[in-house]
Every structure is written in structure tokens, then in C-alpha cells.
Amino acid sequence: MTHSAAILWVFVLFLFLSKPISSESDLSPEELSEIPRNFLSFARKAEIFDWMVGVRRKIHENPELGYEEFETSKLIRQELDQMGIPYKYPLAVTGVLGFIGSGEPPFVAIRADMDALLLQEMVEWDHKSKNDGKMHACGHDAHVAMLLGAAKILQENRHLLKGTVVLFFQPAEEGYGGAKKMIEDGALEKVEAIFGIHVDTLLPLGEVSSRSGPILAGSGFFEAVISGKGGHAAIPQQSIDPILAASNVIVSLQQLVSREADPLDSQVLTVAKFHGGGAFNVIPDSVTIGGTFRAFSNESFLQLKQRIKEVIIGQAAVQRCNASVSFESKDKIFFPPTVNDKDLHKLFQRVAGDMLSISGVKEMQPLMGSEDFSFYQEKIPGYFFLLGMKDETAEKPAHAHSPYFRINEDGLPFGAALHASMVVRYLFDSHKAGSTYSGYRAHDEL
């Protein structure tokens, strides 16, 4: 054998040995169905599980509010650096985008939100919040830990990725619409679909819940100032009473849903703020009221918004008062309905069924809560689901946004493995079909 022939033979042997044992192009249906269970086994390894728990607890001890997640973002970038995962930073002030795979299309994303709530933690444990008045009471600390866990799984199995996975670490979900800011900063460039998880402390561990179509409502806020003429409470005829006017406004607003909305078209309108007066014997000059309204479609949402304005101004006028109504501010923006793509729902059922069995995949009813993941779904197909994190040791599991909120950390491997499995299957199906998912259809939701 000549020297040049020997070099050629060694090169060919190197290519053969460096080729992955299997790739997406030669995976059988049986091998595909094994991936979710294999990923779950990997995420349950003691060193992986303990690492995710450690990440979650570090973030839980140092909760940060929207657009203030600087230490959380720093921790994320440190972990990505250790895994050798490139990233882009910053987006939306503190956001991070990580990239795993070929760097070529198709691009699919998985998302975690990072921010905490303005809430004093009442759960007594070793990793209680160290920041007074701030708490991870919605599970975003777990969301970050699970997405980093998925990143570790995917980085270890890069040979399965026929395309690119984008990791979205997003700030400011709690009312500030951080997803919208991420989009404005270019996070969705090239991304064809996106998946998101939210923990559910009332759903048993190892179960998931979701549905095709609307899953969470669109939400908006309103505030109205009703102005009259102040005066002495003992001489009401010399005043124009804005408290009486505001009371009539509130009663009339309650009739918008009960009398004007289709009973089969779920809507909510709640007046949750009433500020007026400061003395028992003085009629004030003005009263401020405010609240929230929610619906599952653009048409219903806009109709409700229009009628809120008309009723407030009209009813105030009946009582000889003036009214001004505002609906959006820097700190309060409209959230569109969260609407799951029907084809991604089928993918979710296959992947979750392979991992958890059919009995672990529940069909949920739509909820009137809202989620800024919906901003992504306005642009591209998206899918959002709930992951069971019920703590069976708690006598009364607390809902999200409670100072007693706590999760079962044994659920972290499920979230990490589901994240990773969903995007691997999405890329496989897209590659096999030779195109991206075609199930996305324009809809009339916000």
C-alpha cells in the first residue's frame, strides 16, 4: 500500500468511525418512540437531576422582577458556557438565545420565562427567597432549570438534530409582555415553531395537560377616572357625586358579560380597583376604578373593550359626571389569547404519549388566565402545555401567585425531557416531509 493510499484509507476510516451510529434519516418508528423515554432516563440520572435542582434553587433564592433578571441571566450564560452552547445576549434587556444543532434550517424554539413576582414568600425551607417582597411564585425558576436540562440533553444528542434548536430564556412574562420585546429584538428570526411549558401544582406528578386551539384567554386592563363636583356630604344637592356614578358604572359593567355575551363564548370582566374619597363627610371630586377583561377571540375581546368604554362614559353622564377611559400603559399591555396549533398538538400527543403513556396525557379545559407566550403564537405556530408538579406532601397545594406556592422538584426531569423530545421530533418530521409544518392556519384570535 502506498503512503498516499494509506492516508486515504485512514481518512475514510475516520469518517466512518466519526459518523453517528444512527441519524434522523435512518431512525425507525420504534427508535423514535424510544427517544422520549431515553431522554427521561438521562434527565433522571443523579448528577443531572441534582444539577437541575441546584440551578432551580439558586434562582429561587434570588428572585428578580421583569427586566431585572441580571443575575438569573448571568447564571444561564455561565451554564451555557460550560456546556459549550453558543448564545446571543442581550435581547429584551436580560434575555438570552442559545443555539444547538447544525446552525441550518429548520429552526425550532423552546422557551422558559425568568421573572419572579412582587410577593413575600411564606414557605419555610432552606432555599427561601433572600429578596424581601420578591418570590418565584409561578414556577419560572423551574422553567429555567428545565430548559437548561433540555439543553444538556440536546447537546449530548446533537447527532439527532437535523436542524437547529433555539433556546429562549425570556424576561418579564408577569404582565410586562417580555415575549413581545423579544420578538421586537429579533428573537424569532428564522424560527418556524416554538414550544413552552408551565408547571401546574394541582396536576399530579408525571402528567401533562393541554389542548388544540385556545388554551388561555387574551387579557386587557382598563382604568377610568369619573369626575364630578366635590362638596360636603351633608349638602349633596350642591355636589355631583362621582361615587354614586362609579357605583352605577360597576353594576352596568357586570351586565356586559351576563346580558350581551354569548353564554358559549367565555368572557370575564372584573372591576378590581375602586379609589375615591378620604373622609366620611366629604364628597370627592373624582373616583378612579379599574379592572381586567378577558376573552378567547379577537372579535369578542374588541367588542368587550368597546362596550366597556361606552358604558363607563354613558353611565357617568347619566349621573352628570364626566369620564375618561384608558386601556393600555407602559406597564399594562394587552396579551393575546394563547392558541395551540393543531398539528403541533398531534406531535405533543405522540411525544408525551411515548414518554408517559396515554393515561398521563390529559385534555384540559381552556382557562381564563393569560400568558405572553401568545405573542409568539401570533407570528408562528406554537404549542403550550402544563406539566404536573403537585407536591403530595402539602395538605393544600397552593395555586400559582400564592405566597405558599411550592413545586415538586421530581418533576424537573419530565420537563427537560419533554422539551428536548418535542424539538427532536419536530425536526425529524420536518426533515422527513421536506418542509415545515403546514398545519398553521390564520385565525381571528389576537
Gap between the Cα atoms of 356 and 335, Å rounded:
32
Question: Roughly what angle, to the nearest 10 degrees, separates helices 242-255 and 298-318?
Answer: 150
Strand partners, 200: 388
Do 155 and 83 contact (CB within 8 A), yes or no? yes
Supply 303's cell numbers: 367588542
Spatial separation of the C-alpha atoms in residues 219 and 33, rounded to whole Å: 38
Helix-helix angle 29-43:342-356, to 10 degrees: 70
Which residues make Cβ contacts (< 8 Å) with residue 95, sequence separation at least 6? 73, 89, 168, 169, 170, 171, 178, 181, 182, 185, 187
d(CA 171, CA 348): 25
Sequence length of the chain is 446
Place of cell 430564556: 169
DSSP state of 135: B
Helix (H) or strand (E) holding 441: none
Query: Cell digits for 128?
Result: 427561601
Cα radius of gyration (the chain) = 26
Name the 3-class secondary structure at 133.
coil
Instruction: Tell whether residue 198 is among the known ligand binding residues.
Output: yes
Q: How far is CA 131 from CA 68, 72, 127, 327, 373, in A?
A: 13, 13, 11, 32, 27
The type of residue at 428 is: F
Q: Is 3 annotated as a binding residue?
A: no
Compute φ and ψ for 98, nearest 5 degrees: -105, 155
Task: Judge whether 401 is annotated as a binding position.
Answer: yes
Q: Are strands 231-232 and 208-210 parallel, antiparallel or unpaired?
A: unpaired
Binding-site members are: 138, 140, 174, 198, 401
Binding-site members for Mn(2+) are: 138, 140, 174, 198, 401
